[in-house]
Every structure is written in C-alpha cells, then in structure tokens.
Amino acid sequence: MATIILALTDLSCGHCIKNVKGSLEAIEGVQSAEVGLNFAKIVSDKEPRQFIEAIEKAGYGARLAEPTFRLALSGLSCGHCVKNTEKALSAVENVEVFNISKNEAEIYGEKAQAEAVIAAIQNAGYQAVLLKGENSRPKPEAPAQETPAQATRAAQSEALSDEITTTASDEIIISSAAQTTLLLEGLSCAACVRKVEKALSAVAGVDNVQVNLAESSALIFGDAAPQALVAAVREAGYGAEVVEDENLRREKQRLQSQAEIRGRKWQAIIALIVGFGLMSWDMLMGMSMVSASNRFSWLMVGLAVLAVMLFCGGHFYRGAWKSLVKGTATMDTLVALGTGVAWLFSMFIVVFPDFFPPQSRHLYFESSAMIIGLINLGKMLEAKAKQRSSKALERLLDLTPKSARVVDAEGEREIPLAAVVEGMILRLQTGDRVSVDGEVQQGSAWIDESMLSGEPLPVFKQRGDKVSAGTLVSDGTVLFRAQQIGRNTRLANIIKLVRRAQSSKPKIGRLADSIAAVFVPVVIMIALIAAALWYVFGPQPQLSYALTVLTTVLIIACPCALGLATPMSVIAGVGRAAELGILVRDADALQKAADADTVIFDKTGTLTKGQPKVSAVYCFNGFSEEEIIRSAACLEQGSAHPLAKALLALAQEKGYRITDEVADFRTLKGLGVSGRIQGKTLLLGSRTLLQGRNIDTEIAALEFARESEGGATLVFLAVEGMLAGVLAIRDLLREDTAMALARLHKQGYHLIMLTGDQERSAQAIAREAGIDQVIAGVLPEGKAEVVRQLQQQGRKVVMVGDGINDAPALAQADVSIAMGGGSDIAIETAELTLMRHSLNGVADALSLAKGTLGNMKQNLFAAFIYNSLGIPIAAGVLYPWLGLLLNPMIGGAAMALSSISVATNANRLLKFRPRQ
C-alpha cells in the first residue's frame, strides 16, 4: 500500500469534499481516503492517474502534490510514535496534510512554516531536521476552464449528493518497529523490575523498555543488539534469554513456571516440616532455651536448620548477594537479612551462652525455617495465580492448528504448519481451524470468527472473501490461497499486540514503581531504628526483643505485593478484553478510558451501517413499484455514487433485470439526470428538478415532509411530465446501536454525535439512536477542534470512529476507539480497537476499563495498607497499649498472604462480565 497526496482545485465547501471522497472510495483497492478543500490523502495500491481521473469526472481538478517541505525524523520507533507525531502536527497552524513515516515527514500547506512544525515535533519528544534544498513551494494556478468531463460528472454527482457517505475499509496495520522479547529469571519484586529496566534502558539503541514481573518477561523497543540486552540483564544479576518465536516462548515460560512451582512446593514442605517440628518441640518440651545440658543438641539443630535454609532458601541468599555486590536491595535482601540475623543470633547464643543473661538465651531457629517455608509457599501459590492470569492469551495461542491440508499437482495432503508458504492452495472442511490468512478461491462456508471478533454468529465466506488464521469452519468447504503466514497473520499480530499491552504500565502503576525504588532501603532503616529503640528503651530481655522486632520488620515488609499490584490486573484485564473482541494498545489507555465521561461518535459507518439503502418506495399516478425501481436503476447504471448504488442494489434485490437502453442521457447540474427509455422522457433527481419543469409534486407533499423529518434523502422520478414515484434512501442505524447507547447512558456517559452531515439528518438519527447532543456540519479538519473545545470544558473525551477518516479527532481525544468489521480493522490507529463492528463493543470496553482500573486500585490499596499497617505493628507500636508483639513467623505468613491476595484479586477479572 502506498500513500498518495493529490492537490485539489475547484472545491469550495463540504458538499464538494463529500463528492470527491465518494468518488475515491468507490474505486476498488482504496484503503482510506482523507479529503480537504485543497488536498486528498489516499492509501491504496492503485496508480495516481486513476484517482485523478475519478476526481475530474466528479467535476473537480487534481494533480500529484509536491510537499511544501520535507523533514528528516529521528526517535520514532513504532506506530504509536508516528501517531503522537501526527497528533502534534494536526495542531500546527497552516499544515493542511502530511505524510509521516518513522524516518521522514512530508508537509503540505502553502503557508506552513518549517520552524513551527519542527517545534511541534520536538515538543512531542522527537527530533526533526529540515532536509537541504527544501523550500516553500507555491501552489499552481487552477485550470483556466472546466473540462466537459468535469462538468458532466459534477452535475450527476451534485444531483444525488447528500449527507450519506460510506466508510472505507481499513486493513490490519501493525507497527514494524524493532522489538525484542526476553524471558527473565530471578525477578522477585518491584525493586527487581526497576533494576532490570534501568539496566536495559542504558543499552545503546534502546528506545523503550517494558518489564513484566507477573510474566517474568521484558519487551524492548529499538534496534539494540539482543546479545547486548541479555548481557545487561545478567550484569544486573538476573537471567535472560532471547525468545522471538511465540510458541517457543510459551513452552519455555510454561516449563519455567512448572519448575518454579515444583521447586517452591518441595522447598516449602521441607522447611515447614522442620519449622513446625521445632516449634512443637518448644511448645511441648520448653526446650528453646540454651543450657549446659542441651548445647550440643542445639548446635546440631542449628547446623540442620542452616542446611534447610540453604537448600530451601538458597535463591533468596544468592539474590541478596548479587544485589549487595551491585549496591542495591530487593525483597531477597529483606528475607536474607531477616532469616540470617535470626539464625546468627541463635547460633551465637549456642556457641557463647555465657555472653548472654539466662533470660535472653531464647533461640529462633524455628523462625528461620518457618519464614523460608511460608514465603516459598506463598511464591508457589503466586506462580499458580500468574499462570491463571495468562489463560486468555494462551487460549488465543491455541487457536492455530499444527497442520494444514494443501492441494497441488501431487494431489491433496496434510503438511506441518511451518511448511506452508505464501501462494499455496489449502483446503478447509467443516470442523477445521484456518491455519493462515488467505483469500477464498473456490467454494463457500460459514466461518465462526467469535474467537477473534467476539461476534457470536458465523460469517458466510465465498470466492474473494478473506479468512483469518484461528477461525473455525462451522459448515461448508473451500479452497483458499495462503497470503499471510507465521508472524504475519492477523492472529499473530493480535497476540503480539496483546502481549505488548500486558507488559505496559498504566500511570497509576508508576506510583508503585516510584515507591519501590526506595522501599527496601527505607524498610532496612526502619528495622534498624526500631531494634535500637527496643534495645535502649525496651523491657528485659532487651536484646531478644530488639532481635524479634528487627527480624519481623524485615520479613513482614512486602515489595512483591507492591510490584504485582498493577501487572497482574493489566495481564488479566487485557486478556479478558481480547476474549471480548477488544484490542488494547497499552494499559494507560484502560486507565484513561475508565476516567472518561463523554463519548463522541461519528455518524456514518459508526452509528449507521454506512451503506445507504432504499427504505421506502411511494407510487403515484398509477405507476407500479416495479416500474419506478426499473426506471431509476436504468438511469443510474454505471454510477459509483452511494445513492445510485442503493437504487441499483434494490433492483438486484428484487430480481429486476436492467436491460433497457437509455437514450439522450443528460446530467442536469445540481439537480439530477434525464433520459429516454422506450421512447418516454424520464427525470430523476431532487424535488427542485421536477418543480422547475412544472411537474406537480404536491401529491407527494405528505411523504416528503415525513421522510425529510426522519432524515431520509428523497429521489423523485417523473415520466412524461408526470410524477411517477418517490424513493426514500436512508443510511440505517446498526441493529445494536440503540441498545448499546442505552447501556452507555446507564453507565453515566454523555453521548455526542459529531458529523459533517446536515443538521436535519443528524437530529433524526440522534433521536432514533438516543444521542444527547448533536454537533453537525463539521468538516473532518474541524472535528479535532470540537474535541479540543470539549476538553477545555473539563470533559474527558472518548472518540469512536473508523480509525482513519476521523484521524485528527481520534488523535486529539483522550481515548480513541477504532471500529472494525472482520478483517477491516486498523489495529494501531487507536488506543482501543474493536474486532467486531458493533457499538456494544464500546460499552464492553468502557465497562471493562472501569473494572480493570478498580481492580488495580484495590490491589494497590491492599499493598499500601498492608505495608503501612504491617511495618508499624511489627516494630511494636501496639506493645505499650496491648502488649502485642508479632512473632517473625507471623510476619512471614502475612507477607506470603499479601502477595497471594493481590494475585487472586486480579484473577477475578478473568471472569469479568460487562454491565448490560
């Protein structure tokens, strides 16, 4: 697909813009067409000459445009960066249109200033330099006179033009930004995440880093060498491995998770058996005090506990040592300090009992073992919860079959999926899953696309239709040609986008990161201060109390709960969104969507079907419905205008064959068309056309008033100077529009329709749909300004559109939602993209956003409250009033419980049901 910029002449109003846009979108192969008064931007694989001819036939002038100037860009790494730059340029005065890649920008606009454009790009966080030899170029003079072809097509186009337009199909657009995936080992808390992010960010060529604690993975954007990234992580004290293949990554992650669960399970069992045994011995025998008679026994017990600590908790001590060498601290540091101090204190008492008074000779071997056991138990349960949170993405991965049935000169045979290449002819039968993306060549079938789009009903596919990998053949058989395979399929791109979104951080999660950066050092300082206070001011035995407080504070503090609070919610929320047919670009979009209070809808193709249809045919003066439809269709043969298509579609639907020849065909500029069929003179067009020929239209006054009030376009047909019929044409609401908008009203949103159509038509649609406010007559370039004005009033705006035609408004909105249908979906155009063309998806997306943000807040609140209350209680603030001082073992159990509770709460999102 190429982007073509055309300079336009002779356009003077929104009516002209719609004519040109309709002509362009009628050409097969047009992905998108953005039209203004001076320029048209077309994305297509067709030659520019074809578009120029179409515009000239519509009565206007066009030529290939030369950019006013070009800029070299740097710092753009992905589609999101390009979108940010487009958003910045949309606000620059005198910039009419632009074409942006990651490396270059072409700016169009006679009065555009390079300095202003460069400043806007720099303010967006990127760099731009004016290419040498680029100067402002004046636009050429308009053609001196209108060509006959222009005049002819202009008249016909104006005669049938109205507020109804059709939307162009989008295609799947996936950023080609360099992206590296690392599978990590050894991460235990938010502090670990900060260390790895810092290490990766320092590597040359890295633009952005997303480290996911819940999945032990990292996504790195930029052109940095994978070996350098792995080396940076290992230098930071953690393990890393480059995994680009999604199935391989999945298998390695599964094995890693299973190994962790098995290992933590046995470590927990052994440590807890030893810890409970010692605790029971103490409770039953009162043997936790050292005396001359039991010193040797306690020495053996101490060495046995040390062996248990090293075998069951060696990973804590290794992690703490690596952190110490790097001058940092993590959760491992707290566990190692807490259990290590308890064991060293106990062993020192056993070896040098006379150094301590008798009442201070209490031992804490059981605490060291119990703490190791409880934390391992918590980590095991946490790992199981992490597995559950990724189930939604795993189900997407399971959609791709392992093999495909190829048909070639050798016959029909089954081959591994990896052996499929582009261009192969593959067979699908009832019950098969589609292996790769392609186009149907022969046969027909009903395809269940619910796993990708959320649409519950199967879709009929026949020759020329697209099929997507992962969908299921409900009934039928087809032969299709493989077009996108491996990582290029729609399903693979969706999985890639979902994984990237799951690794992203919302703004609320960055608060936890800021706290995690100083959490462990602050906890160690609090523990030392509390122990010193107990040693100086506490009751006897002061040393025992001080040690208890020191150990409990170190153990009860839990940075892992803080680190898991938002990632677990994001993974579950984004995964659940994918199951509902909603693709989330990043977690920040969910937070912004949850805070929104206003939803703006484009009309054509969003609230309506974008396909004008004849809704009523009124007959007069003895003419039959068949005569009216046949005559109108005859006059409109060959026209590409949306309203003409509606007339032709009705004739086809009724089964009427259009065989009559039209003689003396003429276009009547601004009014309609005329011609002779079977010797009779016919007029087709507006009421004004007939009234100008003194044809009585009063007999249709009632129908005209009623249909006009309802927003329909009326086309009048006269035969031999007599009114024969009136056809009402509407762009009908989607079947679920009213229900979806009612759901949004229940959720408390203010609903606005923003359209370039006439006020009358817009108000009619608004009444039928249930819209609160209508802003009509707005040109595409003015929609962004409307959004900006609403934001200045304090509103948080969600814009819902087709993702391309409403690009300026989508870019300006706080949250943009792109509508899609089947394979017609621009994935990277908006923060949220709906895989099915249903407004219920908007209600589902906003409801899920609120649910996910609420879940994040619950997790963060639990983590903050746990640490805010747990640390002071462990330090002994309740002791003066209640005589309560926590045992270190209770601290270890509380720490484990905090992480488990956060993970379990996040997994509730996997069963989230949007509000109806």
Identify the H or E element spanning 441: strand 437-448
What number of other Cβ atoms are within 10 A of residue 269's Cβ? Answer: 15
Burial class (CB within 10 angstroms; exposed 0-12, middle 13-18, buried 19+) of 663 = exposed
Which of 368-407 are b and which e, b meaning 16 or more Cβ less than 10 Å from the residue's Cβ?
bbbbbbbbbbbbbbbbbbbbbbbebbeebbebbeeebbbe
What number of other Cβ atoms are within 10 A of residue 779's Cβ? Answer: 15
Residue 198 CA: distances (Å) to CA of 235, 328, 623: 12, 12, 80
Q: At what angle do helices 507-537 and 331-351 cross, to 10 degrees?
A: 20
Q: Where are the alpha helices (DSSP H) in 538-558?
A: 542-556
* DSSP 8-state code for residue 360: G
- Whether 530 and 891 have beta carbons less than 8 Å apart is answered as no
- Whether 570 and 506 have beta carbons less than 8 Å apart is answered as yes
Tokens representing residue 589 in the block: 């979009």
* Amino acid symbol at 697: T
- Whether 478 and 501 have beta carbons less than 8 Å apart is answered as no
- Separation of alpha carbons 425 and 474, rounded Å: 20
What number of other Cβ atoms are within 10 A of residue 358's Cβ? Answer: 11
* Percentage helix, strand, coil for the chain under 3-state DSSP, each rounded to 5: 50, 20, 30
- Separation of alpha carbons 446 and 382, rounded Å: 42
Tokens representing residue 513 in the block: 């990161």
- Whether 846 and 596 have beta carbons less than 8 Å apart is answered as yes
Whether residue 541 has a cis bond before it, omega within 30° of 0 = yes
Q: Are strands 206-212 and 104-108 parallel, antiparallel or unpaired?
A: unpaired
Q: At what angle do helices 114-123 and 79-90 cross, to 10 degrees?
A: 130
602 labelled catalytic: yes
- Whether 547 and 882 have beta carbons less than 8 Å apart is answered as no
Length of the chain: 916
DSSP 156-208: HHHHH--S---PPPP--------EEEEEEE---SHHHHHHHHHHHHTSTTEEE
Strand order through the sheet with 39-44: 30-35, 39-44, 2-9, 61-64
Q: Where are the alpha helices (DSSP H) in 352-449?
A: 365-389, 391-397
Choosing from 170, 602, 757, 802, which is the catalytic residue?
A: 602
Q: Which of 614, 840, 608 is nearest to 717 (CA)?
A: 614
- Separation of alpha carbons 628 and 682, rounded Å: 11
* Amino acid symbol at 60: Y
Residue 128 CA: distances (Å) to CA of 76, 85, 107, 364: 10, 11, 12, 64
Burial class (CB within 10 angstroms; exposed 0-12, middle 13-18, buried 19+) of 13 = exposed
- Whether 467 and 449 have beta carbons less than 8 Å apart is answered as no
Strand order through the sheet with 832-834: 582-584, 832-834, 815-818, 797-801, 598-601, 750-754, 773-775
Q: How far apart are the first and last CA of the chain?
A: 40
In a 3-state reduction of DSSP, which class is residue 475? strand
Residues annotated as catalytic (active site), given as ranges:
602
